[in-house]
Structure 1
Amino acid sequence: HLKNPVSTNSNFANLTEVLTANLSANLTANSANIFLDGNYVVTGVDITNKQISLATPSAVNDDWNKLADLTDQKTGVGTIKLRGSQENYIGWFTIESAKATGLLLNFQALNGIYQGSDAKFVDIYVEYQQVLNGNPTGNVYNQTIRLNGKANNRDSVGGSMWITLPFTGAVRFRARRTNDNGDAVDLSDETKFYTAYAYHYLSKLVYD
């Protein structure tokens, strides 16, 4: 079981039903010399007790058997970070605008993008596609943007992606981050999808 995983990663709060899924994590660095690296299958989510069940984890890594020799069969409290796949998109989102010819997507790192005295960056990849009568249609296009931080600077970093659509009308889109700056305690690079707009240019410039 992972006890109270929401305190480590708030996305666990989005789990509302028991499903089977793959989970990859590095669970290391403890005084008992137990290293629980491996790819595990999540078989259950207990929201009430804030626990996640894994399918026979000792079959993946026999270090799980060492827990039997510890008090209460667990190591001391530690800080654990679970990192998901870079294929984790936000979206799809659809904007039903019959006249849309472009998209404006805004991203923001509220606390800056840096690690100690070094500036860092965040790369974001966006896919978009035409929607006709509620159905995705045609090619899936893509565009990227990089948000650059400043060393030792907590100022918010933002970036706007302007997309000229190769079609007119409803559009769907999704976004994901493509780079990983690591887990250092002095790293700040959390970036959020802030706002999204569809737009078109006015054809009438004078109004009576």
Structure 2
Amino acid sequence: MTGGAEPLALAPAMADNLARWLDSERATRDRSPHTIRAYQGDLLAFLGFLGGYHGTPALPATLAGLTQTDMRAFAADERGRGLSARSLARRLSAARSFIRWMADRHGFDASRALASRGPKYTRSLPRPLAPGQAQDVLDIAGGTHPEAWIAARDTAVLTLLWGSGLRISEALGLNGADWPLREALTIHGKGGRERQVPVLPIARQAVADYLRLCPW
């Protein structure tokens, strides 16, 4: 076996298994179309590499014989092609999920391949918009729709996201019982966790403008 070989096209049997796995991910895990496309690309890259690495199109028996050495060779090849550590971690995760599914389906032990670990990478926190950037976004939202009340609605939602740190579902979940907005809101977030968030004057004014213009 030699690394760096050109990837090979999928054998029909493996293409069928891949299609079935993607259907399973879509149906049982409610994956988005974007995620399914990403997984498909990840697995095509992985299976194509195995074909070139072993010199023959990958088959279920190929996956049954995989070791940590094979997984490391794939990772090294992808990094050599310029793939970032974050993207490689996702690609290896998709490969392991597919291998696990194939092992259950075809009855082989995949523990050697599944023992491999993905690359480490730093998880960066999302950066908030600077005040000037936030104002630019609000200005755009306020001028993108000819209906004044819709523009005011979009501005109010974006102001709450930026000024109060609400998730989009939390901002859209506010109703008449929350008006008038106080200086702080009690939000019940993910997992039923409760937190207090500040409501800046600019956010209260944006919501007031929307309610004044809303036809309902």
Query: Normalising to structure 1: TM-score of the pair?
Result: 0.21
Greater Cα radius of gyration, structure 1 or 2: 2
Query: Normalising to structure 2: TM-score of the pair?
Result: 0.20
Q: Which has the higher strand share?
A: 1
